[in-house]
Structures are given as structure tokens and as C-alpha cells.
């Protein structure tokens, strides 16, 4: 028995994926767009609970068929995304970054990427934001939910009445919310990435299905528009109130998840239903999984390959490309594997194809890791061992101002540009010469213990740094310089 098609759910999926896309593109006003992931979790909890409940009550539920359906839904597009990312990464990423990508591919294809990213860096950190497959953490959480929830729900169905199941789900939800609030305050990274502290979001959807199935008359008595209207207000309000500085998930995850649950409890009123079933929104919702898969690699790769990764035109191109590629993937990759008329839909053919694909991808990843990211793809400068790097570093500093890469005086012109700072200023001189700067240079080097031109990295260095600053301000080089470039460490780290 298939899950009844609820057309407004595709509209909700579209809003979720568009919110995520706008957030990741740093579009002003989309600071709460990451809540789209939480919307997906609630929707998944609602649909999976409904599917299992209907089949189990009629004695038709099979774990094997359930996981086969999940695999058909998730694996083809995921494997395609991972393989394409590895191929592109092979050509554009440094050996170090390609190794990181390979590790995250391995974590993604076996659905433990939430654990992998939790152990490496926070979701909103600069390091994580540059990871090509950071977004797969949510897929791992969802797949882990699929491993746990069917068994738990089947136990509830077999041992409790309909009413009893509602109370059991409410009790589980309360416990899950309390654990998420605790984790968000005491272990925020774990709360963000790990299933136990996201479980309440799936349960919110599960409870919404259960209440709709057992208390529909009471819900109807409230009024067909009141609950969805409140739900819509909670969701929209959350997008504007919650941002990356909010303690999350925890208590603040309740408004958006309750809002989505209320929108799932019953069909929305006519004006909202028309919007959520609007054809463009419906098609985006149908392709939302593939759009989600493709959007972040497009963003992450663009940050490495374009001069203006955050420019308006770049954002627009990525936005349109994400939706276009996602829809193409939905039609050409997802669709054929879910169409019973196709040979690849048949269980044996599908499983064989997926096993071969996973084996091929894993082999590619393992070879990349064993060869340290294939450093021979690049010039010898990127293939240095540690001893070579130390030797090059020593040459870099000891020959400063003497070699052609950092020569200060290149002609008899009395005019010069003055560079002031610590080792950062020396780096600037190298950069200017390596980019064919045509004029003469002078440099005033400040102590490495000082930053902001007079503040010590330690309180005890302040007097010494102030003394050097006074000497710098008295230098005659300041008066005759054509231009002055200040280049130093401004934060003392």
C-alpha cells in the first residue's frame, strides 16, 4: 500500500529547499534559511510514520521492502553527486583538499557524515563551510532515523491501541525535546549533528500523522483554517527570528517544527493550498532532494574557482543551476529507478547496480586516500615533503630583499612605495614582485610580537611595541614615500 499523495507537501518541500539555497548563497533576509532542514525532518517523520502505520495495521509491512524503497529514493542521486564531486575535485582541488573530499565521500556514501563533520568542525565555521559535502550530514541523520524508527514504531503498533500510541509518541517527543534543549546548551555541536538531539523533529511529524489519524473530528471542529494559519505564521516568523547565532536546535527548534506539524495535520485553507500546489512550486518540491544534493557542491566549488564567489551574478547562476540540475537529476536519475516499468526498478537489478556503483566509488576514494590526493597532478611546488618545505621557508626569509622575488630597488627612480609591517609586510613585498609591480620599494619591519602597529600580543609587550611605533612615526621614509602600504596581523592571533 502506497502513501496517499498530499500535493501541498511538495509545496512545503519547495519552500524548505529554496530557504536552504538562499541561506547558503548568503542572500540578505535569508538568515534563517537553514531551518529548511528541520522542515524536511518533520515531513519525513510524518510520511514514514504514516507509511509504516498503514502497512503494519494491515499486516503488509516488510522491513526489506521499506529499506528497498528508501534505497531507491536516496542512493542513485546521492552516488551521482558524490562521483561528480570526486571527478571535479580531481581537477580543481589541491591534494590536501582532495583527501578531505575523499574522506567526506566515504562518510556520505555510508551515511555517517554527520558523525564525521561533528568530529572535525562546527557547521557554521569557515573550515566546514568550505567542505564540498557538508550538506550530507542531514542525509546521514535521516538515514539513521530510518534504521531506528521502523523497529520502534512496529513495537508500539503491536503493543498499544491507537490512543495509546498517541500518548506514547507524545511521551517520546517530550523526552526528545528535553534532551535536545540540554544538548544545545551543553554540547551545541553534538546537538546540531547527532540524531538523538534531532529525534524530536522527526517525532513531531510522526505525532502529527498519529493525531490526524485518531483525532480528525476534533481537529475539524477547531476549524479548517486555524491550525494551518498558525503553523504558517510560526514557520515564516522562525525564518526571520532564528539565525546562526541562535542556540539551536533545542528550545528554538520548536516554533518551526510545530509550525510544519500544524500544516501537515490537515489540508491547508484554499488560499494557502493554491500557493503550495502552484505548479512551479510543486515541481521544485518534487525535485527538492536532487536540488539539495547539487546546490552545496556548486557553491563550494565556485568559492574555489571564481574571482567573485559572493557576487550577485554568481549567486544567480548558482541558484538557477541548482534548480535546473536538480530537476534534470529528478527526471533522469531519480525517476527511472522509481518507475516499476524499468528493469533497474526490479530489486535484484537495482541492488546489483547500486552495489557495483558503491564499490566503484569506494575504490576511487580509497585510491585517492592511498595516493595522498595525487599530488603529481600539480607542479613540483605542491609536491614538497616536510624537509623541502622547511628548506624553502628558510630561503624565503633569509634571502628577503636580495632575490628577484623580493628585490626592493629595481631602477634609479627616486620614487618608492613604502611597506610597513611584520612578516605579513614581507609577504606583501613577495606578492608585489611576483605580480610584476614596476616600482621601487622600501620596507619598515615591525616586531613579530606586535600587532595593530603598537599593541603587544601579550600585555608585557605593549611598552616595547609602543616604543617601536614612536620610532616608526619619526622615520624620514614616511615623508618621501609615494604611497604607504600597511600590512600586519590585525587581530594578534
Give the number of other Cβ atoms within 10 Å of residue 272's Cβ: 18
How would you class 243 by CB atoms within 10 Å of its CB: exposed for 0-12, middle for 13-18, buried for 19 or more?
middle
> What average pLDDT does the segment 340-355 reach?
91
pLDDT of residue 299: 93
pLDDT of residue 224: 67
Q: How far apart are CA 263 and CA 229, in angstroms?
A: 8
> What average pLDDT does the segment 51-65 reach?
90
- The answer to whether the beta carbons of residues 200 and 176 sit under 8 Å apart is yes
DSSP string, 247-279: -TTGGGGHHHHHHHHHHHHSPPPHHHHHHHT-H
Beta bridge partners of 217: none
> What average pLDDT does the segment 250-274 reach?
88
DSSP string, 54-76: HHHHTT---HHHHHHHHHHHHHH
> What average pLDDT does the segment 184-201 reach?
94
Provide the b/e sequence for 69-92 (b: ≥16 CB within 10 Å).
bbbbebbbbbbbbbbebbebbbee
Residue 182, preceding bond cis, omega within 30 degrees? no
The pLDDT of residue 131 is above 50 = yes
Return all residues near 102 (Cβ < 8 A) that are at least 6 apart. Answer: 86, 365, 368, 369, 373
Cα 72 to its chain centre, rounded Å, is: 23
Map 17-46 to HEC letters.
HHHHHHHHCCCCCCCCCCHHHHHHHHHHHH
pLDDT digits (tens, 9 = 90+) for 379-432: 655 555 667 667 777 777 788 878 878 888 888 888 888 888 878 888 888 888
Q: Mean pLDDT check: name the lowest of 21-25, 258-262, 370-374, 447-451.
A: 447-451
Amino acid at each position: 500500500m502506497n502513501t496517499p499523495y498530499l500535493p501541498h507537501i511538495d509545496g512545503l518541500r519547495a519552500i524548505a529547499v529554496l530557504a536552504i539555497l538562499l541561506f547558503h548563497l548568503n542572500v540578505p533576509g535569508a538568515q534563517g534559511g537553514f531551518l529548511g532542514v528541520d522542515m524536511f525532518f518533520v515531513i519525513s517523520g510524518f510520511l514514514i510514520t504514516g507509511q509504516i502505520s498503514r502497512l503494519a495495521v494491515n499486516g503488509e509491512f516488510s522491513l526489506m521492502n521499506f529499506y528497498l524503497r528508501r534505497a531507491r529514493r536516496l542512493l542513485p542521486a546521492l552516488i551521482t553527486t558524490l562521483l561528480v564531486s570526486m571527478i571535479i575535485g580531481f581537477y580543481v582541488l589541491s591534494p590536501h583538499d582532495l583527501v578531505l573530499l575523499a574522506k567526506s565521500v566515504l562518510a556520505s556514501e555510508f551515511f555517517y557524515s554527520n558523525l564525521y563533520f561533528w568530529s572535525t568542525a562546527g557547521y557554521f565555521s569557515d573550515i566546514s563551510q568550505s567542505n564540498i559535502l557538508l550538506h550530507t550530514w542531514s542525509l546521514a541523520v535521516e538515514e539513521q532515523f530510518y534504521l531506528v524508527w521502523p523497529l520502534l514504531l512496529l513495537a508500539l503498533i503491536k503493543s498499544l491501541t491507537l490512543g495509546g500510541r498517541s500518548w506514547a509518541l507524545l511521551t517520546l517527543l517530550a523526552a526528545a525535546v528535553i534532551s535536545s534543549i540540554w544538548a544545545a546548551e551543553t554540547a551545541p555541536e553534538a546537538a546540531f549533528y547527532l540524531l538523538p538531539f534531532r529525534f524530536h523533529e522527526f517525532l513531531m511529524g510522526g505525532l502529527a500523522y498519529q493525531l490526524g489519524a485518531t483525532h480528525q473530528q476534533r481537529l475539524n471542529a477547531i476549524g479548517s483554517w486555524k491550525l494551518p494559519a498558525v503553523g504558517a505564521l510560526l514557520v515564516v516568523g522562525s525564518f526571520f527570528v532564528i539565525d546562526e547565532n541562535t542556540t539551536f536546535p533545542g528550545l528554538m527548534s520548536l516554533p518551526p517544527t510545530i509550525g510544519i506539524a500544524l500544516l501537515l495535520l490537515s489540508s491547508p485553507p484554499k488560499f494557502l493550498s493554491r500557493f503550495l500546489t502552484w505548479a512551479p512550486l510543486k515541481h521544485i518540491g518534487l525535485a527538492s532532494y536532487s536540488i539539495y544534493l547539487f546546490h552545496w557542491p556548486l557553491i563550494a566549488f565556485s568559492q574555489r574557482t571564481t574571482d567573485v564567489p559572493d557576487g550577485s551574478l554568481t549567486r544567480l547562476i548558482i541558484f538557477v543551476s541548482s534548480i535546473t540540475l536538480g530537476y534534470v537529476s529528478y527526471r533522469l536519475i531519480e525517476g527511472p529507478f522509481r518507475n516499476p516499468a524499468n528493469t533497474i526498478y526490479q530489486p535484484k537489478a537495482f541492488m546489483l547496480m547500486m552495489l557495483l556503483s558503491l564499490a566503484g566509488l569506494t575504490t576511487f576514494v580509497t585510491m585517492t586516500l592511498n595516493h595522498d590526493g595525487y599530488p603529481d597532478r600539480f607542479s613540483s611546488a605542491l609536491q614538497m615533503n616536510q624537509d623541502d618545505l622547511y628548506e624553502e621557508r628558510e630561503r624565503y626569509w633569509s634571502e628577503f630583499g636580495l632575490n628577484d622575488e623580493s628585490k626592493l630597488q629595481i631602477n634609479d627612480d627616486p620614487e618608492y612605495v613604502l611597506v610597513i609591517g611584520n612578516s605579513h609586510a614581507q609577504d606583501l613585498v613577495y606578492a608585489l614582485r611576483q605580480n610584476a609591480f614596476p616600482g621601487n620599494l622600501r620596507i619598515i619591519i615591525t616586531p613579530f610580537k606586535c600587532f595593530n602597529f603598537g599593541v603587544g600580543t601579550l600585555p608585557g609587550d605593549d611598552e616595547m611595541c609602543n616604543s617601536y611605533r614612536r620610532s616608526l612615526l619619526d622615520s624620514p621614509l614616511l615623508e618621501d614615500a609615494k604611497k604607504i602600504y600597511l600590512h600586519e596581523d590585525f587581530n594578534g592571533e
